[in-house]
Amino acid sequence: MGKIKVTACEIEGLYVIEPTVFPDSRGYFMETYNQNDFKEAGLTMNFVQDNQSMSVKGVLRGLHFQKQFPQGKLVRVIKGSVFDVAVDLRSSSQTYGKWFGVELSAENKKQFYISEGFAHGFLVLSDEAEFAYKCTDFYHPGDEGGILWNDKEIGIEWPIEADMNLTISEKDQAWSGIRDTFKF
Which residues are catalytically annotated? 64, 133
Q: Is-cis flag, bond preceding 43, omega within 30?
A: no
> Residues 37, 38, 44, CA angle at the centre, nearest 5°?
140
Closest CA to 64 of 55, 73, 56: 73
Closest by CA to 168, choosing from 64, 36, 43, is 64
Rounded to an integer, what distance in angstroms lies between the CA atom of residue 14 and that of residue 31? 20
Residue 62 to residue 77: CA distance in whole angstroms:
16
Q: Which amino acid, residue 10?
A: E
